[in-house]
Amino acid sequence: MEIDGVKIKEKSDGESKDNPAVKKKVDWSASLIVASLAGAFGSSFLYGYNLSVVNAPTVFVKKFYNETWERRYNQTIPEGRVTLLWTISVSIFAIGGLVGALIVTPAVKYFGRKRTLLLNNVFAIVAALLMAFSQLAGVLEMIILGRFIMGIDGGVSLSALPMYLSEISPKQIRGSLGQITAILICVGVFSGQVLGLPEIFGKIWYYTNDIFKEAGLSSEIIPYVTLSTGGIEILAAIFSGLVIERLGRRPLLIGGFSLMVLFFVILTVCMTLQDQAVWLRYLSIVCILAIIASFCIGPGGIPFVLTGEFFAQSQRPAAFMIAGITNWLCNFAVGLLFPYIQEGLQTYCFLVFAVVCLAGATFLFLVLPETKNKTLAEINQAFARKKVPLEIREMDQFEAKSKSMQEQEHNLSSTLENGESKNRIV
């Protein structure tokens, strides 16, 4: 009985290991969750926060620029100069991000992923101190320099954190864990929007503000509608993290781009014809929220996951550097060009983004394989349209040669044995 009992116990242990609930519990260990959240709070959260919070104190910063300039040069600063200084203060964040993306490869190779994330906090602390004491020192350049250094922090974060998460997570939850980057970015954006409420600072996100004004909303309601966009971002990113291991990367990414195309077109129609019917203005708001949700479901976070899945560990630093450079250049281009696009195309400006999303969805539909629960070799095979990669082909050729050599040796030994037998018979 004791032996049977042991056998029964071993069987139950084996069954418990195969149980999906137990397996999921083992995958989502406490140390894994703590490491992921700690890394994301110190990295992607700060990036999202600095994206949105910079617009809140615009009036106060411009006033500080005026006072500093007048005290330094004994004359009032021209309005165009103030606008130029503020534009530099905002856009230099993307330039810093580009620098951060460039230095992340040597950093993670020399210090490692974890130490790079820890040392990256030095940039954030220095940037915060520069901007915090700029008014006390009376030096407006400290704000610009602080924004640049904070951009470096963001550039390193958006490459080192997804790389770190992709390497510490089991393949069964690699997608869900990778979405923590996007979720904490959305939480950071939402936190910056909360600080942009009228009761706190009195300024809100520029582009969203302008779009909502064109949709006919009053200036008192706009800050709270803008705050709802941050809430939608968080909910959509969490939803994506929950379903990515069931639906896969490909449907969410292509579906997100496709939905964005649809809602961009509807938004263009609504804003063009909004004077014909009042309800079209509210439909425009729904479309804006739907575009944001579609972006956060797929295109907002899944590229971070895919970059870590496409490449071997030795190749990931270079891959994330290229992805980071592309990301920051696009951020800089959109921030710089959108006002001119909006001024030139008016309500048709969103068709430009619809075309870009349509091109992205088409390309991904034709090229992108599903990477859910797949190893690097399986992903490479999927990219090669189920053809064996070069390394595996070479290995098969080597094994075939070894097999043929063994067969030749076997035939030779058989021949020698037959010759000896004949000699003995003679």
Section 230-234 average pLDDT: 86
Band (pLDDT 50/70/90 cuts) for residue 22 is very low
Query: Is 282 within the bounds of a domain?
Result: yes
Neighbours of 338 (CB within 10 A): 16
Band (pLDDT 50/70/90 cuts) for residue 259 is very high
pLDDT of amino acid 355: 94
Q: What is the pLDDT of residues 333-387, one digit of tens each?
A: 877 777 778 778 888 888 999 999 999 999 999 888 888 888 777 878 877 764 4
Burial zone of 350 (CB within 10 Å; 0-12 exposed, 13-18 middle, 19+ buried):
buried
**Which has the higher per-residue pLDDT, 202 or 107?**
107
pLDDT of amino acid 401: 52
Which tokens in the block code for residue 199? 């009761």
Contact 308, 167 (CB under 8 A): yes
pLDDT of amino acid 16: 43
pLDDT of amino acid 408: 54
Band (pLDDT 50/70/90 cuts) for residue 9 is very low
Section 238-253 average pLDDT: 89
Q: What is the CATH number of the domain that holds 94?
A: 1.20.1250.20
Q: What is the pLDDT of residues 59-92, one digit of tens each?
A: 788 888 888 888 888 888 887 788 888 888 888 8
pLDDT of amino acid 129: 93
Q: What is the pLDDT of residues 135-194, one digit of tens each?
A: 888 888 899 999 999 999 999 998 888 888 888 888 788 888 888 888 888 888 888 877
Band (pLDDT 50/70/90 cuts) for residue 260 is very high
pLDDT of amino acid 230: 81
Kindly tell me if the per-residue pLDDT of 7 is higher than 50.
no
Angle at 55 between CA 49 and CA 57, to 5 degrees: 105
Which tokens in the block code for residue 18? 């195969």
Taking the C-alpha atoms of residue 139 and residue 162, their distance in angstroms, rounded to an integer, is 36
Kindly tell me if the per-residue pLDDT of 3 is higher than 50.
no
Section 54-58 average pLDDT: 72
Range of the domain at 275: 17-367
Query: Is 299 within the bounds of a domain?
Result: yes
Contact 134, 142 (CB under 8 A): yes
Q: Which residue has the tokens 């993307």?
A: 94
Query: Is 381 within the bounds of a domain?
Result: no
Query: Is 400 within the bounds of a domain?
Result: no
Band (pLDDT 50/70/90 cuts) for residue 425 is very low
121 φ/ψ sector (left φ>0, alpha ψ -120 to 50, else beta): alpha
Q: How far is residue 101 from each of residues 90, 97, 107, 326, 385, measured CA to CA in Å?
A: 18, 6, 10, 9, 32
Q: How far is residue 324 from each of residues 90, 92, 240, 242, 329, measured CA to CA in Å?
A: 19, 16, 22, 25, 8
Query: Is 172 within the bounds of a domain?
Result: yes
Q: What is the mean pLDDT of the chain?
A: 78
**Which residues neighbour 39 within 8 Å (Cβ) at sequence distance 6 or greater?**
117, 161, 164, 165
Query: Is 337 within the bounds of a domain?
Result: yes
Q: What percent of the chain has pLDDT over 70?
A: 77
**Which has the higher per-residue pLDDT, 84 or 262?**
262
Question: Buried (b) or exposed (e) across 23-61, using 16+ Cβ within 10 A?
Answer: eeeebbeeebeebbeebbebbbbbbbbbbbbbbbbbeeb
- Amino acid identity of residue 61, one-letter, is V
The enclosing H or E element of 397 equals helix 390-425
Q: What is the pLDDT of residues 378-412, one digit of tens each?
A: 878 877 764 444 444 444 454 445 555 555 545 54
Q: What is the pLDDT of residues 267-284, one digit of tens each?
A: 999 888 877 877 887 888
Closest CA to 162 of 311, 7, 353: 311
Contact 286, 242 (CB under 8 A): no
Q: How many domains does the chain have?
A: 1
Kindly tell me if the per-residue pLDDT of 264 is higher than 90.
yes
Taking the C-alpha atoms of residue 369 and residue 384, their distance in angstroms, rounded to an integer, is 10
Q: Which residue has the tokens 């069931």?
A: 246
**Which residues neighbour 127 within 8 Å (Cβ) at sequence distance 6 or greater?**
146, 147, 148, 149, 150, 153
**Which residues neighbour 133 within 8 Å (Cβ) at sequence distance 6 or greater?**
142
Contacts 24+ apart (CB under 8 A), 224-228: 224/197, 225/285, 226/193, 226/196, 227/190, 227/193, 227/194, 227/196, 227/197, 228/289
Closest CA to 138 of 203, 193, 64: 64
Query: Is 344 within the bounds of a domain?
Result: yes
Query: Is 306 within the bounds of a domain?
Result: yes
Section 214-231 average pLDDT: 72
Kindly tell me if the per-residue pLDDT of 10 is higher than 80.
no
Band (pLDDT 50/70/90 cuts) for residue 418 is low
Taking the C-alpha atoms of residue 43 and residue 184, their distance in angstroms, rounded to an integer, is 9
pLDDT of amino acid 290: 92
pLDDT of amino acid 212: 66
